[in-house]
Structure formats: structure tokens, C-alpha cells
Structure 1
Amino acid sequence: MENLLRPVIVVGGSLALTLLIGWATDRLLRKADARHSETPLWGLLRRGRVPYQALLCAALLRGSYDRADLLQEHRVGIGRTLTLILIGSAAWLIVRIAAAVVETTFTRYASSRAHRDPARVRRVRTQVSLIMRVVAAVVGVVAIAAMLLTFPAMRAAGASLLASAGIIGIVAGVAAQSTLSNMFAGFQIAFGDMVRLGDTVVVDGEWGTVEDITLTYLTVRTWDERRLTMPVSYFTSKPFENWSRGGAQLTGTVFWQLDHSAPIPAMRTHLQDILRACDAWDGRAYDISVTDSTPNTIEIRALLTAKDADDIWKLRVTVREQMLTWLCTHHPYALPRVNTADATLPPTTPRPDGTPPRRAHEPPPHAQRG
């Protein structure tokens, strides 16, 4: 009876104590979050409740398992399993705590600078995101190494592994050359301020917004909600357009092909009326100019300004539609047309013999006699 009761008391007591400590800690964090609403730290720390309880349970069981005479033939295996759980849950908890601290710091920074310098906020957010990924990767590698070292065979092979680390490093560097280049490109993007989360970019003719940046790839969400996933090394080796660089304000253009008789002054006045009625116009500038001419039409360009890429697109389509509607209604003669009237012939000069001159469309005299 004692052989059965002791393991139940040890295991049950460890689980009960884990749940009790976890509940008490979560309640304290909840009260701190309600009391200090100006910072999200305490609420973010509650996300580590699961790894925290796993760490407590594994530590309690690992410390008291020797006293519970249960499954003695599997004593070493169970003890090693609990050690692995202890290391894994500790790494998980460290990552959650680091993420809570970093996110709290960024939230405070963003709330103080969001209205004054939104571009710098996006830059810091990109750097913080990549730093957290690096921290998670480093903690994960250290945790895996610690788990492997719990096995005696791995400890015995440690010396040989260190001796051959140089050769393995060279082979791994050659084999993972593209991966390493993407990782270094990710750091270059994060700290070189080339592209940031939320930036509007044009890549390979596709217009979209940077949605995610990792150490190896970058995701662009296009205007039609597609996702373009590209290696980050692309942005360090090829040219691309960043419409948010140096500010989100943009200047757009609208072109029309019209007849030579188009009323340019009236179009300027009507363009001003359209812009004043459109919320997307930021009021900075506008203009209409004749930029080209052909024998049949002239090219008219309108310049428009807006505060960001979304507004400039809305402004361009609005101006194009309303101007064409106005021309069709009030100035239909200004629309392009095909001239079908007879061409005006050049003036004629009498011949020396007094006979009327032959026009260009008339056949020569010998053809008429024939």
C-alpha cells in the first residue's frame, strides 16, 4: 500500500502545487494589469502561463521523483524525460518573457512618436520583429544543445565534434550559402532602413504593402489581397520602388488623349472643382499641362497630390472618370475623332502653254488618251 500511496502523493502533490502557484501568479498579473493600464506588460506576461506551469511541474517532479518508488526499471528514462521537459519549458518561458518586454517597450515608443514620425515607428517595428526572431532562434539552439548534452553519448562525442567544427562549418557554409545570404540581407534590411513593415512598394511591376519580414523572406500584400513571398536578398541586389521612403505623400498623374480643340482653361477650372469635392486630395498642388501632340490628338496630363498611396489611387480614378463625364456632357467636340472630310488641295499654278495644271489625283495625259 505504501509503494502505491507514496507515488500518488508525490505526483498528485506536484500537480496540485503547480496549479495553485500558476493560478496565484496569474491572478497577481491580472490585478497588476488592471491597476497599471498604461502599460501592457502585465497582460503580455500572462501569455507565459503555460510554459511557466510546465516548468514548475517538471521541476517539482524532477526533484521529488527519486522519492517515489515507481517504475524503478524506467527511472533513468523518466528522469531524463523530465529534464528535457524542464529545459524546453524554460526556453519557451524565456522567449515569452523577452517578447513581452520588447513589445511593451515598442508600444510605449510607438505611442509617443506615432503622430510625429510614423516612418521611424515602422523602422523600429521592423528591427524589433527581426531581433525577436533572432532571440527565439538563439534560445532554441541553446535549448536543443542542452537537451543533447543530457545524453552521455553526446557528451562523449563533444570533443570530436569540436575538433571537426572547422570542417563542418566550411561545408555548412558552402551548402547553405543562399540561406546565409538571406539572413545577412535580413539584418541589412532591418538596420539599413531599406524597407519597413507597412511600406508601400512596387516589386516586379506589382504594387503592394510589406506585410511580414523575416530573416529569410519578405511578404508583400498586393492591392487584390494576393501575397508575394520573396527572398530578402532580392531587396539588397535588385532595384525596387519604395513609395513610403522619406514620407508617404505622393504625386499622381492622369492622362487624356483629346482633340486639338479641347478647352484647356475650362478643364483647369473643372479639375479644381473636382479636387475640392474629393476627400482624397491633400490640397498641396494640382496642374494641367499639354505634354504631347500628334496629327490627330493632344496629350493632356493632370498632376494630383495625396497623403498616401491609397488616396492617390482613389484620386486618380475619380478625376479620370469625372473629367471624361464632364467633357462628354459639355464639350463633346473635345473627344478624339476620326476625320473623314476631303483634304484641302494645295493652290495650283498655270502651265507655260496656258493649259490648266494637272492635279495630284488626275492621271497623266498619255493615260487619258489611252
Structure 2
Amino acid sequence: MPAIAVLALDGVPGHQLTAPLSAFATAARHHPPVAYDVRVCAAPGFTRTGGPGAFRLRTPWGLEGLDGADTVLLPGHDAFRDAPPHDLVEALHAAVARGARVGTVGTGTFTLAATGLLDGRRAATSRRHTEELARRHPRIAVDPEGAVVADGPFHSAAGVLGGVDLCLRLITLDHGVPVAIETERQLFLRLHDQTGNPAPTTGPDARDPASGHSPHPAPGTANTAQADAAYNAVTPPGGSLEPLTRWMQAHLHEPLTLADLAAQTGLGVRSLTRRFRTETGLTPLQYLLRARMQRAQRLLERTDDPVERIALRTGLGTPANLRHHFQRLTGTSPTTYRAAFRALVSGVTWPEREDTGGAETEHEEHNHPHTERS
């Protein structure tokens, strides 16, 4: 699996270390084909993390953790204006020479700039330091607005939310826009029951009397396969099923059958099922249902369509059918999901373009899978 080395430089803000761990772990947890080996590596001179949210850190890796890493991330840190240690400079040059990507967050760009690797390239840093970076390193074209700037193997972020934008961009490059979109949803969406009604004590929605929690965890807090199941309708980019799954996305509103899916590939039903299990871990119809759930989530988030219309646009037919599958796969109702999403992440949604055929068009998401947050 791809290895990502996150350098802990002295005084690194704690959230800039935890953000990559959360982002890449979330992508892997909700999309079984995705896997990352994330290592936090202590740079020379590291003694502590900084604020806000400082914490103690012990890691088995030093600079040797960069060996074989596919991506190296440099968060910000206290002494970003100082010349980096010689060993660190050599390790970064070696990583780039073997083809690794290097990402920086905020003032971490100063450290990479000091190695000379960014000379003649575009880069970003925290907005209050853009003029200083340009002054100290005139051979770098500093982008004062870019949330994430890519130039060759180098990716630099302005530091918004501790580099989550940078991580989402890397996930997009590795696994495509849909995985990045679902990962961002899971990072920022924490559902809770906003109805104000007492929790039931019996039936399928009953809460455990000892813990007070529902047996169906909300997305974003789940630790069971059932709650994760709604988020893994993803095929690896370039896989043999990608043409079929794209066709499925365009025809979700239609009453598709297993025979319809097989006919699109020229395969028999058994062969198609084996291929789906191999590439996605799901049967074709399981994949179809989860794709419809993802479409329902997006429509609940980005439109004011009533549940009746969403049921039609997703191919689920009736509101009762939509509610049944939505509750089973996500642990909450469509109405609660919509209310919670809008309350918790208002301003982090994408506009929904109306269409006449019921198929959703992934328009701007292909170019910018997430919205910059201030």
C-alpha cells in the first residue's frame, strides 16, 4: 500500500499532524479498495507539538521513516524561518529523486523552499506569510490565493483546517473524485438526532440502555461494517468495471436489473458478479443500492427536493423504500440526515444542477472536489 510520511518538526501544530491521519484513515475506512500506510516521523530536533491543541508524541520513526515513502508531508512548525537540518535536506532530496510526492502545509512550505527544490515552481503558504515567502525565496512564484497549489511532484496548501484540503487533493489523485467527496463528507459531517424527541426504548431504533447509543451508529462515528456500507460504492480508477459503473450512475433513476448490468458488459451474470466481488467487495446489486444511497445523500444535502422526488431520482421508487434502505445503511432517516447536514456543515455543499432525466451530473466536482473553507 502507498506509504505517507508525515514529518513532525518541532512545534508543529497538533492539528496539522492529526489531519492527515484522520483524512487518509477515513478514506480507507469507508472505501475498502483504499489503503494507506501513514507514518508520523520525528524530524531532527523534534521535542514537542505546538498549539492549539498541543499533545505529547512518541513515534518509532525518525527520518528513516521517509525511506520508501510515496508521499512526504511537511506541516508548519515554530522555527520555519531557520535553515533546515542537513540530514532533513538530504532526505527530502532523496525522496524527490526516487519519485515521491512532497506536500507542505502552511509554513511548512518555508522548509521545503530552503532545500531549493521549489526554485522555479509555484507554491502556496499561509496567507499571512505569502509576502515573506516571496521575499525570502524570489525564485518561487508564490500563489497568494491558492488553497492547494500543485507543480510537478510538489503540492502546497495555505493551511486551511490543518491541510485537510491538501489530503483531499492527494486522495483525489490516487482514487478519484467520488472517494474524495465521500471522505470530506465523513470528516466534517457528524450526524446527531435533531428531532428533540425521546429516543425509543424498543424496536429497531432503540438505544442501548447501558450506553445510551443507538445500535445503528451515525455516519462519521460508526465503527461497524453496517454503518460503513453506504460509502463503499467505489471502483478503482481505470478498473475494468469503471465504464459500467459510470453507466450505472447515469441510469440510477431507471429500474435496473442484474441482467441489464450484465448486458452492458457482454459478460454472463456469474462472471459479472465475480468481477464485482473482486474489484469492489460487493455484488452488482449491492453496489447499485449503495450508489443509489450516495445519490440520495447528495440530493438531500444539495437540493430541496422532497423525499418523494428523491426516491424517483435514485430509482428507489417510493418514499417508504428510500426510508427503509436509508435507515438500514446509514442508521438515520433522510429527514434527519438533511437537517443534520445543513446544521453542521452549511457552506460546505455544492450546488445541484437540475436535469430532465434524473441523472446527476458531476460537473464542477471533477475539477474541484471540495470547497475552500475559511
TM-score (norm 1): 0.20
- Structure 1 or 2, whichever has the larger Rg, is 1
| Larger helix proportion of the pair | 1
- Which structure has more RCO (C-alpha within 8 Å, separation ≥ 6)? 2
